[in-house]
Structure 1
Amino acid sequence: MTIQSDRARDALLDAAEELFARNGIDAVSNRRIVEHAGAANHSAIAYHFGGREGLLRALVERHHDEMARRRRELTEQLGETPNIHELVTTRLRPLIELLDSLPKPSWRAQFMSQISAVPSAVEVAKEVIGDADLPDDLRFINGAVDGIPEGVLRGRAYLLGSMVVGVCADQEAKMNEDANKGSWEQVGRFLIDAAAGMLGAPVTDPDGAVRYPSVPLL
């Protein structure tokens, strides 16, 4: 692609992420995205992404490789017997660092929050990120949490995914409005502490874990 084509593609991604974040994925038409991006060609989404599903896929993929590399870096820095807090940090800190690095206003967390409300978007997220990510991470965590069955960890990870995305979306919206004086660093520390506490909490009923399809957004 040419530099001009790359810029046009990025402009469409920026426009779609903002409109999806603010209005919901199903409420925004392709034409509206193109107009918000300042493009004259109303078939620009088909040209650059092959259609709406390709656009969604590109949005989900956005920053994924960058976060995956950062997670690998943090994982390689772990000692031989990392604790649950350190393991959770390798998973969540790259997300917080990404959100902190984005230009303001930003829409990434709010877009992520909208994905779970649209089944087609959830399927795209699963295809892009892959269900294998979550079980591997849970088995990794399981080695550091005595007495926590994998099924319970899966259920807790589902709850944590929703919690983290929801908190980050709310924080991002407040920061966009300049209504919150907190920092992403503070939010990250709070979420990591909370996630580590939930994952390592005592289990009173191993068979009573919630069982939901994983939504690999983190």
Structure 2
Amino acid sequence: MASQGDRARDALLDAAEELFARNGIDAVSNRRIVEHAGAANHSAVAYHFGGRDGLLRALVERHHEEMSRRRRELMEQLGESPNIHELVTARLRPLIELLDSLPKPSWRAQFMSQISAVPSAVAVAKEVIGDANLPDDLRFINGAVDGIPESVLRGRAYLLGSMVVGVCADQEAKMNEDANKGNWEQVGRFLIDAAAGMIGAPVTDPDGAVRYPNVPLI
């Protein structure tokens, strides 16, 4: 059973995630988060998280280990020579499963879409998730795609992360407004198909790869 302190901490995380998702990270004060969480102590963010950066770190870390564990599980289930579609599925399905499991309305994907707009949030996310330099959980794709230079693959990985977060944020917002706006299983299948096609697409100009900014991937 969760303690009163754990419940208060979760309430602050819920409040911050919603307010950041709806208004942007820099537009929301700690005091507003505390009030939205129904807490009386205006220093609650500092008390529970040590300050603003600690709160952002806790939000980024939220569900991260759960998704990492699920990704490892899916990777272990693949055969010796998985194709691109299977590899991309192992990467993206845990995110879709998480979004599908959240209470409605949910704000996770919309919060994630706000991170890249705030340097302090990017810095925190890089510490937790890693940067965009072809992290280990995407590096396996490199050996599965013949004739695609690593610079192109890294650029596509960046585009993939931006695409997935953007689509999921838009879908989440629509689902919050109307329960009949599709479902996460359909969204997941569409994104996996699109991502696999993007990763394995022909290369017409190896030198024309996107020089992606150094931001964390999903």
Q: TM-score, normalised by structure 1?
A: 0.96
Change (3 A) 1:152 1:114: same
Asked if structure 2 preserves the Cα contact closer than 8 Å seen for 1:131 and 1:214, the reply is yes
Output the CA distance in 2 between the equivalents of 1:134 and 1:47.
36
Output the CA distance in 1 between the equivalents of 2:210 and 2:187.
26
Change (3 A) 1:106 1:139: same
List alignment gaps of at least 5 residues for structure 1.
none
Output the CA distance in 2 between the equivalents of 1:133 and 1:105.
34
Output the CA distance in 2 between the equivalents of 1:154 and 1:182.
31
Shift in Å, 1:180: 4.2
Change (3 A) 1:108 1:133: farther
Shift in Å, 1:131: 2.8
Asked if structure 2 preserves the Cα contact closer than 8 Å seen for 1:60 and 1:125, the reply is yes
**Secondary structure in 1 matching 2:42:** coil
Asked if structure 2 preserves the Cα contact closer than 8 Å seen for 1:18 and 1:111, the reply is yes
1:47-69 CA distance string (max 9 Å, x none): 00000000000000000000000
Identity of aligned residues (%): 92
Output the CA distance in 2 between the equivalents of 1:165 and 1:2.
31
List alignment gaps of at least 5 residues for structure 2.
none
Shift in Å, 1:179: 5.9
Output the CA distance in 2 between the equivalents of 1:109 and 1:99.
8
Shift in Å, 1:132: 7.8
Asked if structure 1 preserves the Cα contact closer than 8 Å seen for 2:158 and 2:212, the reply is yes
Shift in Å, 1:216: 2.4
Count the aligned residue pairs.
Answer: 218
Shift in Å, 1:133: 8.0
Asked if structure 2 preserves the Cα contact closer than 8 Å seen for 1:18 and 1:107, the reply is yes
Asked if structure 1 preserves the Cα contact closer than 8 Å seen for 2:158 and 2:217, the reply is no
The root-mean-square deviation of aligned C-alpha atoms, in Å, is 1.5
Asked if structure 2 preserves the Cα contact closer than 8 Å seen for 1:115 and 1:121, the reply is yes
Partner of 1:102: 102
Output the CA distance in 2 between the equivalents of 1:149 and 1:34.
48
Shift in Å, 1:193: 0.2
Asked if structure 2 preserves the Cα contact closer than 8 Å seen for 1:145 and 1:200, the reply is yes
Change (3 A) 1:78 1:2: closer
Partner of 1:172: 172
Partner of 2:17: 17
Asked if structure 1 preserves the Cα contact closer than 8 Å seen for 2:131 and 2:217, the reply is no
**Secondary structure in 2 matching 1:143:** helix
Output the CA distance in 2 between the equivalents of 1:59 and 1:3.
19
